[in-house]
Structure 1
Amino acid sequence: MPELEKAFLELESGERLPCLYNPETLSVGRRNNWVSNPMPGKGVPTLQYAGAGGGWMRMDLRFDTTVDGTPVTKHTGKILKLMEVDPNLPGTDLERNNARPPTVTFHWGDLHSFRAVVSDIRLSFTYFSSGGVPLRAEIQLELRQYESSDALGPQNPTSGTPKPSRVHRVQPGETLDRISARYYGDATQWRRLAQANNVEDPLALHPGDLLDIPRES
C-alpha cells in the first residue's frame, strides 16, 4: 500500500507543523461583495458589484498523545501561537506598530491552500489523565486568504498561480548545503539558494539572516 500522505501547515518561516491526524473534511469558500441602494416606494434594486472578497478554508484537527502521555498542549500550543504577532517577520517595525502574525499554507499531498492567516481557532480538550494532564484535543481552524490568488477550490487552490517562495531564518551552524538538503532533499542545490540570495560565500552565513527559498518548478 502507498504511504499515507500527512497534512501539515507550512509557516512563513518555512517551519512545518504536522497534523497528527488528517482532517476528515475540508470546507472551502469565497464571497463577493454586492451592494444595493433601496429607495422608498421602489421595488427591488439592482445589485452593484463592490469587489471581491477573500477565500476561506475550515477544517477540524485532532491531536492525541495518550500513547506517550505527554501533554497534548505541546502540539496545540503551536497552533494557538499562529494568532500571535511575530516580531521576527521581515518588515516588522514595532516602533511604528507595523507587525502581524505569520502567514500559513495548508498542504496535503497534491492539495495546497492559498497563502492564508489563521482567523479563528476553537480548541476543546476532550480527554485528561488521572492527574489532569490534557491528552486529547480538537481544534476547529479557519484560514482566511491573505493575498490575491487566481484559483480557489478543493482540488488545488493554488493551481495556475506562481509558486511563492519560502523564507528561512538561518540558525547557528547552518550552511547552504544543509539548508538545500532540508528543502530540496539535495545538498547540491545550494547554488540555487546562493543565486537567489546573492550569496558570494556559502560558508559565511550569519545566524538570523533571512534566505529566500524558491520553490521547485
Structure 2
Amino acid sequence: MAPANANSSLVRARLAIHHPPSGASRTMGGRIGEVEFQFNPGQLELSRSASWYAQRAVGFDRGAQQEFSGADPASLSVEVFLDASATPTSPQVRKKVEQLLSCCEVDPQSLPTNRPSPPWVRFSWGGFSTVQFIAYVESVSAAYSLFSPTGEPLRATCRLSLKEIPTPVRGQNPTSGALSARRVHQVVVGDTLPALAWREYGNATRWRVIAEANDIDDPMRLRPGSELLLPSADDVRRGPGAGPGPGPEPRGTP
C-alpha cells in the first residue's frame, strides 16, 4: 500500500471561475468559484493560429503576396473526470458539473451592465504557464457513467473547450509608442522573485523590476495563486526606468 502522504506534493489542475469585467474593462471581476480536478488531465489540446490576408497582384506568378493581419485567440481542450463512487450519497459530481455548465450561461451580476456576459475563467496547472490565459468556456459536454440507487450521478466525464480572451498589453514604449510585450504569471508554491527574474531575463538581480511592476514590498512573501505582471525583457534593458538601482548588468552578472 502506498504511503498516506504519497500524493502530498501533487499539484492539481484547476479552473478558476470569475465574474466578467464591468463596462469596457478587460480585467476579470471577483472569483465566483473554482473547480479543482480530482484527477489531473491525461492530455491537453492547445491550438493557436495566425491570420494572413492575401492581396491579389499581377506581379506575383505563384499566388498573391500575403500580409499578416493578427494572431487568433488560442483554444484549449481539456477533459475533467469526476468520481464520487466512494460516497454514494454525495452530490459533488452533480454540483461540479452544474458549476461547469454555468460557465456557458450569463452571469446574473453582469445583467445590469451594458455588456452581459458568461463568467471568465483561467485554467492553471502548477508552473505550466503556456496554458494559463484568460478565457471563456466555448462549450461543455458531460457524460454520466454511474448513478446511485436514487439517481444521483456518481461519475462523469466533462469535456471543456476554452477560447482565449484577448487582453490589451499593459505598459507602453515611451520612445516609439508601441506596446511592450508583457505577460502574466500565476504564482505557484516555491516561486521566488529572483528565480522568476533568472527565468525571464537570465539575471536573478532583476527581481526588483518585477517587484516594482507589482507594488511588492516584501519579495519573500508571494501568495500561491496570485498573479504577477512580468515586464518584457526590452523594458528591463532600457535601464533605470524599468526598476530601481543602476542600469542593466551584463547577462549572468552575479
Sort the TM-score into its range (normalised by shorter chain).
0.5 to 0.7
Q: What amino acid maps onto 1:85 in structure 2? A: V
Counterpart among 98, 103, 107 of residue 86 in structure 1: 107
Q: Distance in 2 between matches of 1:20 and 1:59?
A: 14
- Is the aligned partner of 1:48 residue 2:54? no
Counterpart among 135, 138, 154 of residue 119 in structure 1: 138
1:43/1:140 Cα in 2 relative to 1: closer, same or farther (>3 Å)? same
User: How far has the Cα of 1:31 moved from its partner?
Assistant: 1.0
Q: Distance in 2 between matches of 1:122 and 1:37?
A: 40
Q: What amino acid maps onto 1:118 in structure 2? A: V
Q: What amino acid maps onto 1:21 in structure 2? A: F
Counterpart among 6, 11, 16 of residue 10 in structure 1: 16
1:32/1:119 Cα in 2 relative to 1: closer, same or farther (>3 Å)? same
Counterpart among 161, 176, 194 of residue 183 in structure 2: 161
Q: Distance in 1 between matches of 2:227 and 2:68?
A: 36
Q: Distance in 2 between matches of 1:17 and 1:10?
A: 7
Q: CA RMSD in A?
A: 3.1
* Structure index of larger Rg: 2
Q: How does 1:198-217 map to 2 (within 5 A)?
A: 215=227
Paired residues, number = 157
1:9/1:60 Cα in 2 relative to 1: closer, same or farther (>3 Å)? same
Which residue number corresponds to residue 23 of structure 2? none
The answer to whether the Cα contact below 8 Å between 2:51 and 2:68 also exists between their aligned partners in 1 is yes
User: How far has the Cα of 1:122 moved from its partner?
Assistant: 1.6
The DSSP-based 3-state class of the residue aligned with 1:44 is coil
Q: How does 1:161-200 map to 2 (within 5 A)?
A: 161-162=183-184
Which residue number corresponds to residue 156 of structure 1? none
TM-score (normalised: structure 1): 0.61
- The unaligned stretches of length 5 or more in structure 2 are 1-5, 19-29, 170-180, 187-214, 216-224, 230-254
- Is the aligned partner of 1:57 residue 2:63? no
Which residue number corresponds to residue 36 of structure 1? 54
User: How far has the Cα of 1:120 moved from its partner?
Assistant: 1.4
**Once the two structures are superposed, what CA deviation does each residue of 1:17-48 show, in whole Å capped at 9, x if it has no partner?**
21122111111111111233569xx7533333
Counterpart among 20, 41, 46 of residue 23 in structure 1: 41
Q: Distance in 1 between matches of 2:101 and 2:14?
A: 15
**Once the two structures are superposed, what CA deviation does each residue of 1:118-149 show, in whole Å capped at 9, x if it has no partner?**
11112111222344322111111111111248
1:74/1:65 Cα in 2 relative to 1: closer, same or farther (>3 Å)? same
1:61/1:214 Cα in 2 relative to 1: closer, same or farther (>3 Å)? closer
Counterpart among 86, 96, 103 of residue 67 in structure 1: 86
1:128/1:214 Cα in 2 relative to 1: closer, same or farther (>3 Å)? closer
Q: What amino acid maps onto 2:45 in structure 1? A: S
- Is the aligned partner of 1:142 residue 2:164? no
Q: Distance in 1 between matches of 2:168 and 2:122?
A: 13
Percent identity reads: 24
- The unaligned stretches of length 5 or more in structure 1 are 151-158, 165-195, 197-212
Q: Distance in 2 between matches of 1:6 and 1:22?
A: 6
The DSSP-based 3-state class of the residue aligned with 1:60 is strand
Which residue number corresponds to residue 204 of structure 2? none
Per residue, is there more strand in 1 or in 2? 1
The answer to whether the Cα contact below 8 Å between 2:94 and 2:152 also exists between their aligned partners in 1 is no
The DSSP-based 3-state class of the residue aligned with 2:155 is strand
